[in-house]
Structure 1
Amino acid sequence: MAVLGSLWRAGIPGVGYWIAANAIAIMALLAFALQGHASRWLTFVAANELLAMALLLMLEGCYRFLGRRTRPWGAYAGAVAVLIGIAYWTFVSPNFNARVTVTSAFHASLYAVLAVTMRRGRPSNRPRYSYYFLAVVAALFCAGHITRCIVYGFGMVVQSSLMQATAPNIAYLVLGILAQPALSIGVVMLVHDRLAERLERLANVDELTGALSRHAFLAIGDVLLNASVRTRSPVALAIIDIDSFKAINDGHGHAVGDQVLSHFAAFIASNLRVGDVFGRLGGEEFGVLCPATTAAETVALLERIRGRLAAAAQTELPRGLRYTFSVGVDQRRWDEPLAELMARADGALHAAKASGRDRVMAA
């Protein structure tokens, strides 16, 4: 709880549910420990229901962490059924084995749902370990509760008290005590993976425009160029610059300039093809890498995009402000570094600017 509490301010979905789950599990274990010293409503009914709700909140937190908006309503209905069953087999028709069977069946079902949820819910761009750790832990506890359900449901163990000192009972008590800490280790790993993802995004994605950062763009560019040598396919680079951007900042303010940058990046990204790589090189300058594409094809692509921006209605532009951009394009020559390709494309960009702006030129 202390570790999860230290992560509360990070604003990661699900953490609040996981903290609450641990708090409720502590109350459940204390209630169980009071058997023989307090009312059976507390030590039997409330204790079992609290432990069931703790697991349910762990599942609910995982739903929120994975971005699911729906609630596991079937699990809530099951929790109500457990409450009714425990009360019935405690006061109406006392039956220890029946109580164990109904609670273990409910726990096994929740663990099964949790295992499947974490196995299938892992984002494709994230490492598997933390998601699979939680899925495996849930699957193991599911198997343990299924075994317990069978053993007690078919009367293989005769028992009258939760604290009875028999080998099977001690094993199942250990299972119950270890469950919440093991799950908590798993969710802490998930939270740290989410924090790592945020740091990676800060390093690789420009915060204002959503385009790749210069560092990430150059890194991907090197990979694409190396791949093009192996496949003997062309790679083209376009360097794009918003025309007269300083005049926009001076005449309308930097806030409007930021809006233009954000709009421009979103417009370019939405009109590129799948597989094209878009990044911000600095200021109002952006780059586009087009794998398996010649310089002539890249010129045609950027010319179409330039025409679409020119034809956009004023209501679609930030503050209704019209702006244009210039582009320099070149194609990678055999086995040359990215820096040389960028230098030639940048030269073509300067030529486009000198020729009157609002145009696409090849080196």
Structure 2
Amino acid sequence: MFNPLSILLVTILSGVMAIAVLGSLWRAAIPGVGYWLSANAAAIVALLAFALQGHAHASQWLTLVASNVLMAASLLLVLEGCLRFLGRRTRPWPAYLGLVAVLFGISYWTFAAPNFNARVAVVSAYHASLCVALAVLMLRGRPSNRPRYSYYFVAGAALLLVAAHTARGFMYGLGWMTQASLLQVSPSNVLFLALGILASPCLSIGVVMLAHDRLAERLERLANIDDLTGALSRRAFLAAGDALLDASRRSRSPLAMAIIDIDSFKAVNDKHGHATGDQVLSHFATFIARNLRTGDVFGRLGGEEFGVLCPATSAAEAVSLLDRLRARLAATAPHERPCGLRYTFSVGVDRLRGDESLAQLMARADGALYAAKASGRDRVMTA
């Protein structure tokens, strides 16, 4: 049969494993990982102190006061880590005040008026309140563009802890259960320890899942977003184009494509250097992205060439839109341009025809772009 000491030792081992896994993510600089590492370290020390209860040379300050406060602090650190993970900068000051209250309560019911049940009640109340805050944070703070599973897993583990600590706090607080030591072997004590202590490793697993989701998000961004310009990568742009083609055919609405090329970009690199060329690319992409309409799709096809997909837009409307952008860039004040350089761009435009593929549409728009270049640059032309 399981006993309280064996449960404590299993939980300590799971905490060590969580530290090893989270430690491997340290260099990834994921917000919150430092707090989660500290939380597991504090929990391990607390559990080791709990395990010394009843030892002849172990002080009650260590086995009762410090152990309970450290265990409560570990859960507070998990909450702090989740706040940082979600980009929240505010600290949960009421939780810190509650931790001070736990310290005074444990000290009072250990030395001034020894009462095991009162200690259990105050610690359980604090743990339950922190877990409610953690569950609410995970359910409300989850980014809408990320998978739900890891957030729901953490919230579920927190709610399991809420149920365990609430039941334990009520039963001991109201005197329905009595015992003299945390390590006392009884079916009820083993059950509550299993629920209350073994749910902590579930939280550790949950925060590891959150960290890996953040890594996955970064990898998705690297695959889909061009690092220099912030525009869609070629792969992501073509995937968006295929989806828009399907939607256009279903709704029988027009779809226009524009291929844009910065004029004489090689001369910019040769004369001013590649660093300045990168600044021009970044400035151009930011300018175009800010001036497109909601629903338009913008991506970098390679080098200084970019693409724009305009759903529910005819070729003539797309020409008008891109020509306005061309004139607006030409009117930009010198101090707003990278290194004060004046640069222009040429555009080729065409619309979707029949059941053709995206490659066929791109080929015609690209042909129109070459025609614009041959006609003197700094202009918009249709196929």
Task: Identify whether the pair has TM-score above 0.5, normalized to the shorter chain.
Answer: yes
Structure 2 stretches lacking a partner, 5+ long: 1-18
Moved more, 249-258 or 86-95: 86-95
1:76 to 86, 89, 96: 96
Moved more, 92-101 or 283-292: 92-101
Q: Measure the CA separation in 2 of the matches of 1:315 and 1:199.
A: 35
Verify: 1:228 aligned to 2:228, yes or no.
no
2:148 to 106, 115, 128: 128
Verify: 1:25 aligned to 2:43, yes or no.
yes
1:205-247 alpha-carbon deviations (Å, 9 max, x no partner): 1111111111110011001100111111111101000000011
Amino acid aligned to 2:126:
F
Equivalent residue for 1:334? 354
Structure 1 stretches lacking a partner, 5+ long: none
Equivalent residue for 1:98? 118
Equivalent residue for 1:261? 281
Verify: 1:35 aligned to 2:16, yes or no.
no
Q: Measure the CA separation in 1 of the matches of 2:174 and 2:126.
A: 17
Verify: 1:6 aligned to 2:19, yes or no.
no
Q: Measure the CA separation in 2 of the matches of 1:162 and 1:78.
A: 22
Equivalent residue for 1:295? 315
Amino acid aligned to 2:323:
E
1:190 to 207, 210, 222: 210
Verify: 1:140 aligned to 2:156, yes or no.
no
SS of alignment partner, residue 281 of structure 1: strand
Equivalent residue for 1:355? 375
Amino acid aligned to 2:351:
Q
Equivalent residue for 1:306? 326
- How high is the sequence identity, in percent, across the aligned residues? 74
Verify: 1:324 aligned to 2:348, yes or no.
no
Q: Measure the CA separation in 1 of the matches of 2:172 and 2:222.
A: 53
- How far the C-alpha of 1:87 sits from its partner, in A, is 0.7
Q: Measure the CA separation in 2 of the matches of 1:317 and 1:239.
A: 22
Q: Which aligned runs of 4 or more in structure 1 are off by greater than 6 angstroms?
A: none
- How far the C-alpha of 1:361 sits from its partner, in A, is 1.3
Q: Check conservation: 1:221, 1:289, Cα contact below 8 A.
A: yes
Q: Measure the CA separation in 2 of the matches of 1:313 and 1:163.
A: 75
- How far the C-alpha of 1:195 sits from its partner, in A, is 1.0
Tell me the number of residue pairs that the alignment of Structure 1 and Structure 2 aligns. 363
Q: Check conservation: 1:22, 1:180, Cα contact below 8 A.
A: no
Q: Check conservation: 2:330, 2:344, Cα contact below 8 A.
A: yes
Equivalent residue for 2:3? none
Q: Measure the CA separation in 2 of the matches of 1:153 and 1:300.
A: 74
Q: Measure the CA separation in 2 of the matches of 1:188 and 1:163.
A: 30
1:119-172 alpha-carbon deviations (Å, 9 max, x no partner): 112111111111111111111111111111111121111222211222211111
Amino acid aligned to 1:179:
A
- Length-normalised TM-score, structure 1: 0.98
1:281 to 301, 314, 319: 301
Verify: 1:170 aligned to 2:193, yes or no.
no
1:162-195 alpha-carbon deviations (Å, 9 max, x no partner): 1122221111111233132111111111111111
Amino acid aligned to 1:9:
R
Q: Measure the CA separation in 2 of the matches of 1:22 and 1:94.
A: 29
Equivalent residue for 2:176? 156
Q: Measure the CA separation in 1 of the matches of 2:370 and 2:276.
A: 25
1:44-77 alpha-carbon deviations (Å, 9 max, x no partner): 1100000000000011111111111111111111
Equivalent residue for 1:59? 79
> How big is the alpha-carbon RMSD for the aligned residues of Structure 1 and Structure 2?
0.9
Q: Measure the CA separation in 1 of the matches of 2:143 and 2:355.
A: 35
Equivalent residue for 2:16? none
- Length-normalised TM-score, structure 2: 0.93
